[in-house]
Structure formats: structure tokens, C-alpha cells
Chains A and B, each alone.
Chain A
Amino acid sequence: MPGPLALAIWYVGIALEIAFVVCSIARKSFFRYIFLNAYFLLALGSDAGRYFFLNKFGQASDEYRYAYFYTDALLTLALYVALISLYSRVFGELRFNKYVRFGAVLLLLGTAVFSYAVVVQSEQILATTFAYELSQNLYFVGLVLTYILWGAVLKLRETRTRLVQFILALGLYFSAYAACYALTNLSSRYSVVQYLSGAIGCLLPLAWTVTMWRYAEESRLEPARLLAVAR
């Protein structure tokens, strides 16, 4: 079993995931943000599955590693869908939804083909390597898409507070994980990054829960003011 710190971070993360779903139900926004809720419900299901395998087989077992990486691929896919749902909300009023959906499917297919091309010549288990490669590639696609969406929010002068906060939190989350990824490649002190990675995992449910709880759907803000430089 992992150490008490890693377990504590995990339990906090689970509590925050539950808190987001409960907050959306309490604020009557569950169906309005159905894909965000679906992501956290899937995350809770993944946590349950991972806990079962961790408890039964241990952290170093192949069973836990398979469970961890396959559920992670599913979660990345769910987060991608949640991100596209935010795109649909931003571009919905411009009637660009058809193009957003078309582009999202095309991008997903492109990422899948690219990932397949990378792993097809290896002598390793194709399904596992493909799931892992697709998960990582889709993650970086999500990172770039979030920054593009933030650019669109500024350009279109989007004022819906919840939407702006969701997108900012997602950008922070993706960027923090990308920094963690870079750190892992730079440093061999893996254990430090492992705790960092878990803590970053709590960031998204925390930020989204606070947003859902503090701001009503009708709240508005001026995103341009966030970029204003104090003189």
C-alpha cells in the first residue's frame, strides 16, 4: 500500500470530486454541466476500481498498473469531451456548434491515428501501449485546446463567470501537469513528483467546486480585467 501522505491526498481528491457533483445538484446545474459531472462520476468509478486493485494486489502489481493506466485513458477521454462541451458553450451563441463537433471528432481521430502510428511497430502489447500513448497525446491536445479556448474567451469578451473560471482552472490544471511531466523527465527523484502529481489531481475538482458553489449561473465578469496590468 502507498504511504499515508499519498493516501491522504487521494482521499481529499475523492472528497472534492464528490463535492463538485453534490454542489452541481444543490445549485441545480447538474444537467447544465452534464459532461463535467460525468467526468467526475467516471473519476469516482475509477477511484473505486483502483482502490479494489490496490487493496487486493498492491501498488507494484501488474493488475493495479493495468487498472490505473486503462482508467486514466478513459478519464483523459472524458476530460476531452468535457473540454469540448465548454467549447460548445462558448461558441454556441455563434452557431458554430456543428463545426466544433466536427473538429473535435476529427482531432480525436487524428490523435488516435498518430498514437497508433507511434506504437504499431513496437513489439509490445499493442492495446496497452496504444491506450497509454493515446492518453498522453490527448492530454497535450487538451492543453493546447484550453489555451485556444482562453484566447477565444478574451476575443469574444465572454462574461459568464462560471464558464471563465472553469476554463481558467482547466488551463491551470493542464499546465501544472505539463510542468510535472517536464519535471519527471528532468529529475530522477520520482517520489517527489509522485506526491506533486497527486496534489495537482486535487486542483481541478477544488477549483471547479469553488466556482460552482460561489457563483450563480447568472454571474458575470469582465475577463479583460483579469489581464489588466496594475500601474
Chain B
Amino acid sequence: MSRKLAALALVLAILVCSMGLKTAISHGNAGSPVMIANSPAPAPIGPPPVKGK
């Protein structure tokens, strides 16, 4: 049980660190439509299509 709690605490810590890093790198503008992509494919022109029609 204590090991599972330790794993849970570690998971939360990793999540907080990751989101903190993302916010720090993006200068507090973590929701900005910039791209992190996983492929050398040419990025589309413009941000992801998120506006409802």
C-alpha cells in the first residue's frame, strides 16, 4: 500500500514538474498555439483548427 502511495506521489510530482517546465519554457503562455511535433513532416500553416463553426 505504501509503495502504491509512493508511486502516486511520484506521478503527481512528475506531472507538476512537467507542467511547470512547459509553463516556464513558454514564458507563462502555455496555451499558445505553437507546435511540438514528432515528425519531420512540414508543419501546417497556422495553429491547429480549434475554433468551433
- Seen from chain A, the residues whose Cβ lies within 8 Å of a Cβ on chain B are 2, 6-7, 9-10, 12-14, 43, 46-47, 50, 54, 59-62, 64-66, 68-69, 71-72, 75-76, 79, 99, 102-103, 106-107, 110-111, 114, 118, 122-125, 128-129, 132, 135-137, 139-141, 143-145, 148, 177-178, 180-182, 184-186, 194, 197-199, 201-202
18 further interface pairs, Cβ-Cβ under 8 Å (given A110-B11, A141-B15): A9-B40, A13-B41, A50-B39, A59-B44, A65-B49, A69-B44, A72-B37, A99-B7, A106-B7, A106-B8, A107-B11, A111-B18, A140-B19, A143-B21, A182-B25, A185-B26, A194-B43, A201-B39
Beyond A125-B50, A132-B50, whether A181 also contacts B18 by CB under 8 A is no
11 contacts between A and B (CB under 8 A): A7-B42, A12-B40, A60-B44, A69-B48, A72-B37, A76-B36, A177-B36, A185-B27, A185-B29, A185-B32, A201-B38
Beyond A69-B48, A143-B18, whether A201 also contacts B42 by CB under 8 A is no
Majority secondary structure of chain A interface residues (helix, strand, loop or mixed): helix
A-B contact number at CB 8 A: 146
Beyond A106-B7, A140-B18, A177-B36, whether A125 also contacts B42 by CB under 8 A is no
Chain A contacts for B10, CB-based, 8 A:
103
Beyond A99-B7, A182-B26, whether A6 also contacts B51 by CB under 8 A is no
Chain B contacts for A9, CB-based, 8 A:
40
Q: Tell me the bound Cα distance from A129 to B33 in angstroms.
A: 10
In the complex, how many angstroms separate the beta carbon of A144 from the nearest chain B beta carbon?
5
